[in-house]
């Protein structure tokens, strides 16, 4: 994460910390916990709706 100095400087100026790095590491830890516990990982990111003409159909075992 230290290879993105512009993002780091912007975060530190706007947030007082390297927020992007912290959030990415938190999400990584949440994903690892889901793997270890067998729980379904649910992203905290807000994703836009898919473009229906190019979207894949639902996959078995994946909650939407």
Condensed to tens digits (0 to 9), the pLDDT of residues 9-62 reads: 999 999 999 999 999 999 999 999 999 999 999 888 888 887 877 777 777 766
Angle between helices 19-37 and 5-15 (to 10 degrees): 100
Cβ atoms of 2 and 8 closer than 8 Å: yes
Report pTM: 0.65
Distance (Å, rounded) from C-alpha 2 to C-alpha 11? 12
């Amino acid at each position: 994460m230290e290879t993105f100095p512009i993002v780091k400087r912007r975060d530190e100026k706007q947030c007082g910390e390297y927020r992007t790095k912290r959030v990415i590491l938190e999400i990584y830890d949440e994903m690892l916990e889901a793997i270890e516990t067998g729980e379904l990982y649910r992203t905290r990111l807000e994703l836009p709706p898919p473009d229906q003409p190019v979207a894949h159909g639902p996959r078995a075992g994946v909650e939407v």
